[in-house]
């Protein structure tokens, strides 16, 4: 067996065997397969695609290429949640405390921002003192003690995925369903939870631009999870416009706290309650999704979810005073309001352009591990369907003075204002696996 033959086989439309896939994955981790051959195979996969059995085998091989977390000492059904990435998506900070308040152990490994989609780890680090670098023993202890812990993904989890993703990113082979699915699920399966909830975003601010693509991916992710022995389900949610009103690290923490207090925007509240309800159902604390949603709503009404958030923050060394005083997270150097140029209604609001505005403000990163401005971002005053007057504020951008003009220009491009009211879209488009 050699890489030349494997590349040739897939180039010509052949189906790779489990042994050939394992050979490829073990070789790139060991460094015995050069980047040019790995890239050639990825390009062959991009054009010739993989069938489901190949995709499942690739996922398992990538899962087994690094450490697999053992969470067996944590009692209960551990439920993980993964979002495919969006603009203003701060749901982890909301639904994890809600699920934990219902008795679901949440042991989550999350990532950082890259491009205009935010990363949960960056957002949590906007809280003074909050630690995301935890030893596995401490991580598990916090879940046992408080029911919830979130840490940065370790370098030893799904090692092959990091190598493959870096190559896909520079060889224009990102947009392949099998490569996307195996990347997501290899990490989720290696993270050790018993059940997995997937939030597949769909729209201008998401990787999947239309519902057909999102549904195809969701069905593949759910099937992989179930075939790997995990209880798995997916929600397809709207990302045509940003989720909530806040886009940017500290801004999103503040909005997450407001939502846990019952004071959050309608869309982020609706989605968070739904996702938390599904986590509660997957974790066996509800007999149906509907019952799970009721339990999730009660956790907000009773204050139990907010209290769980406080325990979560304090457990990881953070300043829980941010719950009542957002200024503890600091303030941006400057701000700039973007005004409406005519009377009318917001007919559309591009999530992608608002995401780019947040990136330009300094809230995101274009290169892995580059620093971010935790207080930068965009705060939306108006969204699709809202009535506006000439000169009224559509949104405010925050960040360093030198970056505000470029960010504001992108915000201006994001808004479309017309004379007619545009009906709002449902935040939840479809469910898979329920």
Catalytic residue status for 161: yes
Burial of 391 (0-12, 13-18, 19+ CB in 10 A): exposed
Q: Which one is catalytic: 110, 178, 182, 183?
A: 183
**Nearest residue to 99 (alpha-carbon basis) of 141, 152, 150, 140:** 150
- 377-380 sheet: strands from edge to edge: 246-247, 377-380, 393-399, 334-339
Report the C-alpha gap between 209 and 216 in whole angstroms. Answer: 12
User: How is residue 127 written in tokens?
Assistant: 């809280």
Give the C-alpha distances (Å, rounded to integers) separating 353 from 35, 187, 414.
Answer: 34, 29, 5
Q: Which one is catalytic: 187, 201, 285, 429?
A: 187
Catalytic residue status for 183: yes
CB distance 29 to 63 below 8 Å: no
User: How is residue 228 written in tokens?
Assistant: 């790997």
* Three-class SS state of 332: coil
Q: Which one is catalytic: 64, 122, 161, 373?
A: 161
User: How is residue 423 written in tokens?
Assistant: 């009906």
Report the C-alpha gap between 68 and 154 in whole angstroms. Answer: 11
End-to-end CA distance of the chain: 42
Tell me the HSE value of 181 on the side-chain side, using a 13 A CA sphere: 29
Report the C-alpha gap between 201 and 217 in whole angstroms. Answer: 10
Q: Which one is catalytic: 140, 146, 168, 188?
A: 168
Residue by residue, what is the 3-state secondary structure of 395-410? Answer: EEEEECHHHHHHHHHH
Where are the strands (E) in 187-343, listed by range?
195-202, 231-238, 246-247, 334-339
Report the C-alpha gap between 126 and 372 in whole angstroms. Answer: 10
**What DSSP string runs through 10-61?**
HHTTPPPPHHHHHHHHHHHHHT-S-HHHHHHHHHHHHHH---HHHHHHHHHH
CB distance 220 to 177 below 8 Å: yes
Positions annotated as catalytic residues are: 82, 161, 168, 183, 187
């Amino acid at each position: 067996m050699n890489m030349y033959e494997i590349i040739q086989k897939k180039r010509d439309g052949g189906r790779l065997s489990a042994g050939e896939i394992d050979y490829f994955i073990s070789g790139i981790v060991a460094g015995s397969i050069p980047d040019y051959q790995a890239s050639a195979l990825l390009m062959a996969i991009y054009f010739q695609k993989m069938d489901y059995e190949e995709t499942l085998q690739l996922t398992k091989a990538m899962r087994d290429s690094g450490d697999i977390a053992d969470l067996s000492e944590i009692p209960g059904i551990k439920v993980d949640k993964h979002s495919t990435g969006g603009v203003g998506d701060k749901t982890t900070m909301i639904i994890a405390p809600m699920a934990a308040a219902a008795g679901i152990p949440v042991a989550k490994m999350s990532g950082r921002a890259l491009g205009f989609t935010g990363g949960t780890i960056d957002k949590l680090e906007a809280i003074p003192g909050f630690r995301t670098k935890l030893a596995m023993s401490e991580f598990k202890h916090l879940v046992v003690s408080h029911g919830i812990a979130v840490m940065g993904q370790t370098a030893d989890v799904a090692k092959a995925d990091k190598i493959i993703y870096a190559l896909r990113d520079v060889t224009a082979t990102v947009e392949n369903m099998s490569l996307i699915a195996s990347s997501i699920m290899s990490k989720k399966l290696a993270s050790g939870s018993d059940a997995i909830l997937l939030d597949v975003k769909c729209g201008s601010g998401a990787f999947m631009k239309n519902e057909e693509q999102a549904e195809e991916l969701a069905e593949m992710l759910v099937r992989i999870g179930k075939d790997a022995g995990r209880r798995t389900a997916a929600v397809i949610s709207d990302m045509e416009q940003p989720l909530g009103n806040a886009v940017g690290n500290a801004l999103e923490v503040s909005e997450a706290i407001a939502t846990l207090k019952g004071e959050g925007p309608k869309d982020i509240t609706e989605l968070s309650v739904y996702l938390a309800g599904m986590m509660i159902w997957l974790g066996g604390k509800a007999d149906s999704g509907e019952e799970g949603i009721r339990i999730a709503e009660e956790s907000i009404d009773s204050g139990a979810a907010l209290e769980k958030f406080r325990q979560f923050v304090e457990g990881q060394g953070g300043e829980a005073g941010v719950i009542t005083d957002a200024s503890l997270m600091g303030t941006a150097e400057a701000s700039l309001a973007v005004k409406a140029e005519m009377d009318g209604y917001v007919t559309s609001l591009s999530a992608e352009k608002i995401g780019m505005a947040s990136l330009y403000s300094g809230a995101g990163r274009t290169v892995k591990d580059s620093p971010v401005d935790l207080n930068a971002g965009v705060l939306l005053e108006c969204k699709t369907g809202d009535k506006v007057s000439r000169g009224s504020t559509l949104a405010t951008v925050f960040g360093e003075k030198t970056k505000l003009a470029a960010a504001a220009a992108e915000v201006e491009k994001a808004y479309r204002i017309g004379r007619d009211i545009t009906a709002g879209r449902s935040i939840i488009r479809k469910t898979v696996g329920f």
